[in-house]
Amino acid sequence: MTLEELEQGKAASLAEIAAVTDAAGVEQLRVKYVGRNGSIPALIKAMKDVPKEERPAFGKAVQAWRAEVEAALAAKGAGAATGGAKAEDVDATLPGRWAAPGVEHPLSRVIADTARIFGKLGFTVADGPDIETRFNNFTALNTPDHHPTNDRTDTFWIDSAEIRGEGTARTAEDLLLRTQTSPVQIRTMLANKPPVRVICPGRTYRRDTTDATHSANFHQIEGLYVDTKPVSLADLKSVLAYFAKEMMGDSVTVRFRPHFFPFTEPSVEVDFSCHVCKGKGCSVCKQSGWIEVAGAGMVDPRVFKHVGWNPDEVSGYAFGFGVERIAMIKYGIPDIRWLYENDLRFLSQLV
Ligand code: PHE
Protein backbone atom coordinates (compact mmCIF):
# COMPACT_ATOMS: atom_id res chain seq x y z
CA MET A 1 0.00 0.00 0.00
CA THR A 2 1.36 3.38 -0.96
CA LEU A 3 1.01 6.46 1.18
CA GLU A 4 -1.54 7.74 -1.26
CA GLU A 5 -3.64 4.59 -1.01
CA LEU A 6 -3.38 4.84 2.72
CA GLU A 7 -4.79 8.38 2.69
CA GLN A 8 -7.64 7.19 0.52
CA GLY A 9 -8.35 4.31 2.84
CA LYS A 10 -8.42 6.70 5.79
CA ALA A 11 -10.85 9.07 4.05
CA ALA A 12 -13.11 6.16 3.18
CA SER A 13 -13.11 4.78 6.73
CA LEU A 14 -13.92 8.18 8.23
CA ALA A 15 -16.74 8.68 5.75
CA GLU A 16 -18.10 5.27 6.63
CA ILE A 17 -18.01 6.08 10.35
CA ALA A 18 -19.62 9.46 9.78
CA ALA A 19 -22.48 7.79 7.94
CA VAL A 20 -23.28 5.13 10.50
CA THR A 21 -26.29 5.79 12.74
CA ASP A 22 -26.77 2.83 15.11
CA ALA A 23 -24.64 1.39 17.86
CA ALA A 24 -24.37 -2.00 16.19
CA GLY A 25 -23.01 -0.33 13.05
CA VAL A 26 -20.45 1.63 15.10
CA GLU A 27 -19.33 -1.62 16.75
CA GLN A 28 -18.99 -3.32 13.38
CA LEU A 29 -16.76 -0.51 12.10
CA ARG A 30 -14.71 -0.59 15.30
CA VAL A 31 -14.06 -4.28 14.74
CA LYS A 32 -13.38 -3.69 11.04
CA TYR A 33 -10.79 -0.95 11.52
CA VAL A 34 -9.28 -1.08 15.01
CA GLY A 35 -10.41 -4.48 16.33
CA ARG A 36 -7.74 -7.07 16.99
CA ASN A 37 -7.94 -8.39 13.40
CA GLY A 38 -8.97 -5.03 11.94
CA SER A 39 -7.33 -3.41 8.97
CA ILE A 40 -5.27 -0.83 10.85
CA PRO A 41 -3.57 -3.39 13.17
CA ALA A 42 -2.98 -5.46 10.01
CA LEU A 43 -1.17 -2.51 8.47
CA ILE A 44 0.96 -2.14 11.56
CA LYS A 45 1.89 -5.81 11.33
CA ALA A 46 2.71 -5.37 7.65
CA MET A 47 5.11 -2.51 8.39
CA LYS A 48 8.06 -4.86 8.21
CA ASP A 49 7.50 -5.28 4.45
CA VAL A 50 7.58 -1.54 3.80
CA PRO A 51 10.96 -0.36 2.44
CA LYS A 52 13.12 0.89 5.29
CA GLU A 53 13.35 4.51 4.12
CA GLU A 54 9.56 4.81 3.75
CA ARG A 55 8.81 3.21 7.08
CA PRO A 56 8.85 6.34 9.32
CA ALA A 57 6.44 8.29 7.14
CA PHE A 58 4.25 5.21 6.67
CA GLY A 59 4.21 4.48 10.35
CA LYS A 60 3.24 8.03 11.18
CA ALA A 61 0.41 7.95 8.67
CA VAL A 62 -0.94 4.66 10.05
CA GLN A 63 -0.86 5.98 13.62
CA ALA A 64 -2.65 9.16 12.52
CA TRP A 65 -5.28 7.05 10.79
CA ARG A 66 -5.77 4.96 13.90
CA ALA A 67 -6.08 8.04 16.12
CA GLU A 68 -8.62 9.67 13.84
CA VAL A 69 -10.69 6.51 13.50
CA GLU A 70 -10.69 6.01 17.28
CA ALA A 71 -11.71 9.63 17.85
CA ALA A 72 -14.49 9.32 15.29
CA LEU A 73 -15.70 6.07 16.84
CA ALA A 74 -15.59 7.57 20.34
CA ALA A 75 -17.63 10.53 19.13
CA LYS A 76 -20.22 8.00 17.90
CA GLY A 77 -20.41 6.44 21.33
CA ALA A 78 -18.09 3.43 21.01
CA GLY A 79 -16.13 3.54 24.23
CA ALA A 80 -13.26 1.62 25.69
CA ALA A 81 -15.02 1.71 29.05
CA THR A 82 -17.93 -0.36 27.84
CA GLY A 83 -15.85 -2.25 25.32
CA GLY A 84 -18.51 -1.30 22.82
CA ALA A 85 -21.27 -2.78 24.97
CA LYS A 86 -24.70 -1.30 24.70
CA ALA A 87 -26.30 0.36 27.70
CA GLU A 88 -28.84 -2.43 27.96
CA ASP A 89 -26.01 -4.96 28.23
CA VAL A 90 -24.77 -3.42 31.50
CA ASP A 91 -26.16 -5.08 34.64
CA ALA A 92 -26.23 -2.26 37.16
CA THR A 93 -27.38 -4.64 39.88
CA LEU A 94 -24.09 -6.57 39.94
CA PRO A 95 -22.03 -5.91 43.11
CA GLY A 96 -19.19 -3.43 42.64
CA ARG A 97 -15.56 -4.39 42.93
CA TRP A 98 -14.47 -4.48 46.62
CA ALA A 99 -11.49 -2.23 47.16
CA ALA A 100 -10.86 -3.44 50.76
CA PRO A 101 -9.94 -0.08 52.30
CA GLY A 102 -7.98 -0.21 55.55
CA VAL A 103 -9.57 0.96 58.80
CA GLU A 104 -7.99 2.60 61.80
CA HIS A 105 -7.54 0.18 64.70
CA PRO A 106 -10.07 0.89 67.49
CA LEU A 107 -7.28 1.61 70.00
CA SER A 108 -5.63 4.10 67.64
CA ARG A 109 -9.01 5.65 67.06
CA VAL A 110 -9.76 6.12 70.76
CA ILE A 111 -6.31 7.68 71.27
CA ALA A 112 -6.71 10.01 68.28
CA ASP A 113 -10.24 11.01 69.35
CA THR A 114 -9.06 11.68 72.90
CA ALA A 115 -6.20 13.86 71.67
CA ARG A 116 -8.65 15.78 69.48
CA ILE A 117 -11.21 16.27 72.27
CA PHE A 118 -8.68 17.41 74.88
CA GLY A 119 -6.88 19.42 72.21
CA LYS A 120 -9.97 21.62 72.02
CA LEU A 121 -9.53 22.33 75.74
CA GLY A 122 -5.88 23.34 75.33
CA PHE A 123 -4.25 20.02 76.26
CA THR A 124 -1.21 18.93 74.29
CA VAL A 125 0.07 15.36 73.94
CA ALA A 126 3.11 14.36 76.00
CA ASP A 127 5.10 11.20 75.57
CA GLY A 128 7.25 9.04 77.82
CA PRO A 129 9.22 5.79 77.52
CA ASP A 130 7.81 2.34 78.29
CA ILE A 131 10.88 1.55 80.41
CA GLU A 132 10.77 3.72 83.51
CA THR A 133 12.67 4.23 86.71
CA ARG A 134 11.33 3.28 90.11
CA PHE A 135 11.42 6.99 90.92
CA ASN A 136 9.11 8.08 88.07
CA ASN A 137 6.73 5.13 88.24
CA PHE A 138 6.44 4.81 92.03
CA THR A 139 8.47 6.98 94.37
CA ALA A 140 7.68 10.41 92.91
CA LEU A 141 4.05 9.31 92.66
CA ASN A 142 4.07 8.90 96.44
CA THR A 143 3.99 5.11 96.23
CA PRO A 144 6.38 3.82 98.88
CA ASP A 145 8.89 1.03 98.20
CA HIS A 146 6.96 -1.37 100.40
CA HIS A 147 3.71 -0.83 98.46
CA PRO A 148 2.50 -4.12 96.92
CA THR A 149 2.65 -2.74 93.36
CA ASN A 150 6.44 -2.49 93.80
CA ASP A 151 6.49 -6.22 94.13
CA ARG A 152 7.97 -8.61 91.61
CA THR A 153 4.64 -10.38 91.40
CA ASP A 154 2.86 -7.24 90.13
CA THR A 155 5.45 -5.43 88.06
CA PHE A 156 7.81 -6.45 85.27
CA TRP A 157 11.18 -5.41 86.67
CA ILE A 158 14.04 -5.04 84.21
CA ASP A 159 16.93 -4.12 86.44
CA SER A 160 17.32 -3.96 90.19
CA ALA A 161 19.58 -5.44 92.85
CA GLU A 162 16.96 -8.10 93.37
CA ILE A 163 16.92 -9.01 89.64
CA ARG A 164 20.74 -9.14 89.59
CA GLY A 165 20.75 -11.35 92.66
CA GLU A 166 22.61 -8.71 94.67
CA GLY A 167 20.27 -8.40 97.61
CA THR A 168 17.09 -6.47 98.29
CA ALA A 169 18.28 -2.84 98.15
CA ARG A 170 15.79 -0.67 96.23
CA THR A 171 17.06 2.41 94.41
CA ALA A 172 15.41 5.24 92.51
CA GLU A 173 17.20 4.14 89.31
CA ASP A 174 15.82 0.59 89.28
CA LEU A 175 14.21 -0.10 85.90
CA LEU A 176 10.78 -1.51 85.16
CA LEU A 177 8.11 -1.61 82.46
CA ARG A 178 5.79 1.20 83.51
CA THR A 179 2.65 -0.04 85.21
CA GLN A 180 0.73 3.15 84.39
CA THR A 181 1.10 6.32 82.31
CA SER A 182 1.30 8.41 85.50
CA PRO A 183 5.15 8.63 85.34
CA VAL A 184 4.65 10.92 82.34
CA GLN A 185 3.09 13.36 84.85
CA ILE A 186 6.43 13.37 86.67
CA ARG A 187 8.44 13.80 83.46
CA THR A 188 6.18 16.63 82.36
CA MET A 189 6.49 18.51 85.65
CA LEU A 190 10.25 17.97 85.83
CA ALA A 191 10.71 19.38 82.33
CA ASN A 192 8.31 22.33 82.49
CA LYS A 193 7.08 25.18 84.60
CA PRO A 194 3.43 25.56 85.60
CA PRO A 195 0.92 25.81 84.04
CA VAL A 196 0.95 22.42 82.32
CA ARG A 197 -1.97 20.85 80.53
CA VAL A 198 -1.17 17.50 78.91
CA ILE A 199 -2.60 14.13 78.03
CA CYS A 200 -0.23 11.19 77.74
CA PRO A 201 -1.36 8.11 75.82
CA GLY A 202 0.83 5.02 75.92
CA ARG A 203 1.44 1.36 76.62
CA THR A 204 1.46 0.03 80.16
CA TYR A 205 2.45 -3.34 81.60
CA ARG A 206 1.32 -5.42 84.55
CA ARG A 207 1.82 -9.01 85.58
CA ASP A 208 -1.79 -9.88 84.88
CA THR A 209 -3.01 -13.20 83.58
CA THR A 210 -4.76 -12.63 80.29
CA ASP A 211 -8.52 -13.16 80.21
CA ALA A 212 -11.51 -11.43 78.64
CA THR A 213 -10.92 -8.22 80.60
CA HIS A 214 -7.21 -8.34 81.48
CA SER A 215 -4.03 -8.15 79.49
CA ALA A 216 -0.42 -7.92 80.66
CA ASN A 217 0.08 -5.15 78.13
CA PHE A 218 -2.59 -2.51 77.67
CA HIS A 219 -2.92 1.24 77.04
CA GLN A 220 -3.77 4.16 79.26
CA ILE A 221 -4.26 7.85 78.71
CA GLU A 222 -3.11 10.09 81.49
CA GLY A 223 -4.26 13.66 81.92
CA LEU A 224 -2.61 16.36 84.00
CA TYR A 225 -3.49 19.98 84.59
CA VAL A 226 -1.50 22.06 87.06
CA ASP A 227 -1.71 25.82 87.39
CA THR A 228 -0.62 28.63 89.67
CA LYS A 229 -4.26 29.67 89.98
CA PRO A 230 -6.50 27.46 92.08
CA VAL A 231 -7.69 24.29 90.34
CA SER A 232 -10.61 22.39 91.85
CA LEU A 233 -12.29 19.00 91.74
CA ALA A 234 -15.19 20.73 89.99
CA ASP A 235 -12.82 21.70 87.15
CA LEU A 236 -11.83 18.05 86.85
CA LYS A 237 -15.43 16.94 86.79
CA SER A 238 -16.43 19.44 84.11
CA VAL A 239 -13.53 18.47 81.88
CA LEU A 240 -14.32 14.75 82.21
CA ALA A 241 -18.04 15.42 81.65
CA TYR A 242 -17.16 17.22 78.43
CA PHE A 243 -14.91 14.36 77.38
CA ALA A 244 -17.64 11.79 78.17
CA LYS A 245 -20.15 13.54 75.92
CA GLU A 246 -17.71 14.04 73.07
CA MET A 247 -16.48 10.46 73.20
CA MET A 248 -19.62 8.50 74.04
CA GLY A 249 -22.54 10.72 73.05
CA ASP A 250 -24.54 13.65 74.35
CA SER A 251 -26.61 11.69 76.86
CA VAL A 252 -23.58 10.47 78.85
CA THR A 253 -22.88 12.01 82.25
CA VAL A 254 -20.14 11.34 84.83
CA ARG A 255 -20.19 10.50 88.49
CA PHE A 256 -17.34 10.42 91.00
CA ARG A 257 -16.94 7.78 93.70
CA PRO A 258 -14.44 8.25 96.53
CA HIS A 259 -11.35 6.11 96.09
CA PHE A 260 -7.65 6.02 96.95
CA PHE A 261 -4.59 6.59 94.80
CA PRO A 262 -1.23 7.38 96.41
CA PHE A 263 -0.61 10.34 94.10
CA THR A 264 -3.94 12.14 94.34
CA GLU A 265 -5.84 13.54 97.31
CA PRO A 266 -8.78 13.43 97.27
CA SER A 267 -9.02 10.54 94.81
CA VAL A 268 -12.03 9.36 92.88
CA GLU A 269 -13.10 6.64 90.54
CA VAL A 270 -14.94 7.99 87.53
CA ASP A 271 -18.02 6.32 86.06
CA PHE A 272 -19.78 7.19 82.81
CA SER A 273 -23.54 6.69 82.67
CA CYS A 274 -24.21 3.72 80.42
CA HIS A 275 -24.46 4.93 76.82
CA VAL A 276 -26.34 1.79 75.77
CA CYS A 277 -29.30 1.82 78.19
CA LYS A 278 -28.99 5.51 79.11
CA GLY A 279 -28.60 4.57 82.75
CA LYS A 280 -31.60 2.26 83.05
CA GLY A 281 -29.52 -0.90 83.52
CA CYS A 282 -28.48 -3.46 80.90
CA SER A 283 -25.94 -6.23 80.37
CA VAL A 284 -23.20 -3.77 79.30
CA CYS A 285 -23.33 -1.89 82.63
CA LYS A 286 -24.21 -5.05 84.58
CA GLN A 287 -27.62 -3.54 85.40
CA SER A 288 -26.07 -0.66 87.37
CA GLY A 289 -26.52 2.10 84.79
CA TRP A 290 -22.87 3.11 85.27
CA ILE A 291 -19.54 2.02 83.81
CA GLU A 292 -16.24 2.58 85.58
CA VAL A 293 -13.75 4.19 83.21
CA ALA A 294 -11.07 6.14 85.02
CA GLY A 295 -9.16 6.98 88.16
CA ALA A 296 -8.61 10.64 89.01
CA GLY A 297 -8.06 13.18 91.74
CA MET A 298 -6.28 16.34 92.85
CA VAL A 299 -2.49 16.05 92.61
CA ASP A 300 -1.11 15.16 96.04
CA PRO A 301 1.17 17.88 97.52
CA ARG A 302 3.87 15.23 98.05
CA VAL A 303 4.03 14.68 94.28
CA PHE A 304 4.65 18.41 93.76
CA LYS A 305 7.45 18.23 96.35
CA HIS A 306 9.08 15.33 94.47
CA VAL A 307 9.32 17.40 91.29
CA GLY A 308 10.46 20.52 93.15
CA TRP A 309 7.23 22.50 92.83
CA ASN A 310 5.89 24.36 95.85
CA PRO A 311 2.50 22.84 96.80
CA ASP A 312 1.46 26.21 98.29
CA GLU A 313 1.86 27.85 94.89
CA VAL A 314 0.36 25.28 92.53
CA SER A 315 -2.64 22.99 92.38
CA GLY A 316 -3.99 20.62 89.80
CA TYR A 317 -5.80 17.48 88.88
CA ALA A 318 -4.82 14.23 87.20
CA PHE A 319 -6.80 11.43 85.64
CA GLY A 320 -6.02 8.19 83.89
CA PHE A 321 -8.16 5.78 81.98
CA GLY A 322 -7.80 2.57 80.04
CA VAL A 323 -7.91 2.90 76.26
CA GLU A 324 -9.06 -0.71 75.86
CA ARG A 325 -11.89 -0.09 78.30
CA ILE A 326 -13.18 2.93 76.36
CA ALA A 327 -12.86 1.03 73.06
CA MET A 328 -14.67 -2.00 74.47
CA ILE A 329 -17.64 -0.04 75.80
CA LYS A 330 -17.81 2.32 72.83
CA TYR A 331 -17.72 -0.39 70.16
CA GLY A 332 -19.36 -3.15 72.23
CA ILE A 333 -16.31 -5.44 72.21
CA PRO A 334 -16.78 -8.23 74.79
CA ASP A 335 -13.21 -9.58 74.93
CA ILE A 336 -10.02 -7.49 75.28
CA ARG A 337 -8.04 -10.13 73.35
CA TRP A 338 -9.93 -9.31 70.17
CA LEU A 339 -8.10 -5.98 70.18
CA TYR A 340 -4.72 -7.68 69.80
CA GLU A 341 -5.41 -10.63 67.52
CA ASN A 342 -5.57 -8.59 64.31
CA ASP A 343 -8.35 -10.74 62.94
CA LEU A 344 -9.62 -8.85 59.90
CA ARG A 345 -13.05 -10.45 60.23
CA PHE A 346 -13.38 -8.52 63.50
CA LEU A 347 -11.44 -5.34 62.70
CA SER A 348 -13.13 -4.69 59.38
CA GLN A 349 -16.52 -4.53 61.10
CA LEU A 350 -15.46 -1.38 62.91
CA VAL A 351 -15.45 0.84 59.82
N1 PHE B 1 -2.58 5.51 87.36
C2 PHE B 1 -3.85 5.12 87.92
C3 PHE B 1 -4.09 3.64 87.60
O4 PHE B 1 -3.42 3.11 86.75
C5 PHE B 1 -4.97 5.95 87.39
C6 PHE B 1 -4.91 7.37 87.84
C7 PHE B 1 -4.29 8.33 87.07
C8 PHE B 1 -5.51 7.77 89.03
C9 PHE B 1 -4.22 9.65 87.49
C10 PHE B 1 -5.46 9.07 89.46
C11 PHE B 1 -4.83 10.00 88.69
O12 PHE B 1 -4.94 3.01 88.17
| Cα-to-centroid distance, 89 and ligand 1 (Å) | 64
> Going by CA atoms, what residue is nearest to atom 7 of ligand 1?
320
pLDDT tens string 185-241: 999 999 999 999 999 999 999 999 999 989 999 999 999 999 999 999 999 999 999
Residues 83 and 114 in one domain: no
Band (90; pLDDT cuts 50, 70, 90) = confident
Atom of ligand 1 nearest to the CA of 182: 1
Band (351; pLDDT cuts 50, 70, 90) = low
Atom of ligand 1 nearest to the CA of 267: 10
Q: Is residue 141 part of a domain?
A: no
Number of domains in the chain: 2
Q: Range of 191's domain?
A: 106-128+178-350
Residues 203 and 72 in one domain: no
Q: Is pLDDT above 90 for 123?
A: yes
Residues 288 and 314 in one domain: yes
Q: Is pLDDT above 90 for 7?
A: no
Give the long-range contacts of residues 100-104, CB within 8 A, separation 24 or more: 103/347, 103/348, 103/350, 103/351
Percent of the chain with pLDDT over 90: 62
Alpha helices in 100-182 (DSSP H): 106-119, 134-137, 161-164
Q: Is pLDDT above 50 for 340?
A: yes
pLDDT tens string 137-153: 999 999 988 888 877 78
Q: Is the dihedral of CA 334, 336, 337, 339 positive or negative?
A: positive
Q: CATH number of the domain that 226 lies in? A: 3.30.930.10
Average pLDDT, the chain: 91
Residues 213 and 255 in one domain: yes
